[in-house]
């Protein structure tokens, strides 16, 4: 997207978040091979900057259609990402935060360091399964301590105040796994 009246052929610079630029790299290389790519803090920041009167002529942004509604740039192309339907998940981090009230359609995010030994992750996941808690997302992330050492980001269906979720967290802590509560929040539904 760019200021109204800008033609795709006149774009000389494309602004966006690094992940959005990577997601659209093929399209940008094919259609705007001479354009300079510039990383900014967010896709919304890119759209806001491009829509501003101080933006350079020929500047365009890779951003969600909502950004055009909010800031006023005109869409030059749609569907430019590598994966159709790709979405980004945002997490708000705050020093003093309490989970919102239960909606009974909640999700809880955890970070778990299972420790050493075979089957530790399976033991942790069993604690959720045995309480009929659905694990909706599991992602490994290297700890950086040594090769083969991971921590896991786990999303489960349910609020931290639900007794089964509390019980599972208590048992996981008893297993010697470092479990950190990251937040409970209403699940997103279409």
Residue 11's contacts (CB-CB under 8 Å, 6 or more residues apart) are: 2, 32, 35, 58, 59, 60, 76
Do residues 12 and 36 make contact, with C-beta atoms less than 8 angstroms apart? yes
The per-residue pLDDT for 165 is 95
pLDDT tens profile 101-144:
888 889 999 999 888 778 889 999 999 999 999 999 999 988 77
In angstroms, the CA 85 to CA 64 distance is: 12
Helix (H) or strand (E) holding 180: strand 178-186
For residue 46, give the DSSP letter: H
Q: Which pLDDT belongs to residue 133?
A: 96
What is the model's pTM?
0.54
- Residue 43 CB contacts under 8 Å (≥ 6 apart), including other chains: 16, 17, 20, 61, 62, 63, 64, 67
Say yes or no to pLDDT of 17 above 60: yes
Tell me the three state secondary structure of residue 185: strand
Closest CA to 183 of 154, 160, 163, 165: 160
SS3 content of the chain, % helix, strand, coil (to 5): 30, 25, 45
Better-scored residue on pLDDT, 53 or 159: 159
Any residues with CB less than 8 A from the CB of 50 and at least 6 apart, and which?
A: 1, 2, 3, 15, 59, 60, 61, 71, 73
């Amino acid at each position: 997207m760019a200021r109204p009246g800008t033609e795709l052929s006149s774009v000389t610079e494309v602004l966006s978040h690094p992940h959005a630029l990577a997601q659209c790299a093929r399209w940008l290389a094919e259609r705007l091979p001479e354009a300079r790519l510039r990383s900014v803090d967010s896709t919304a920041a890119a759209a806001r900057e491009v829509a501003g009167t101080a933006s350079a002529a020929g500047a365009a942004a890779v951003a969600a259609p909502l950004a055009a509604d909010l800031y006023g740039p005109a869409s030059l192309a749609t569907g430019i990402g590598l994966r159709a339907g790709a979405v980004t998940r945002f997490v708000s981090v705050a020093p003093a935060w309490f989970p919102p009230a239960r909606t009974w359609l909640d999700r809880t995010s955890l970070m778990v360091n299972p420790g050493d030994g075979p089957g530790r992750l399976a033991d942790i996941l069993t604690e959720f399964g045995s309480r009929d808690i659905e694990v909706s997302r599991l992602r490994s992330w290297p700890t950086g301590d040594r090769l083969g050492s991971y921590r896991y980001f786990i999303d489960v269906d349910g609020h931290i105040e639900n007794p089964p979720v509390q019980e599972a967290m208590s048992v996981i802590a008893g297993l010697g796994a470092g479990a950190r509560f990251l937040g409970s929040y209403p699940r997103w539904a279409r």
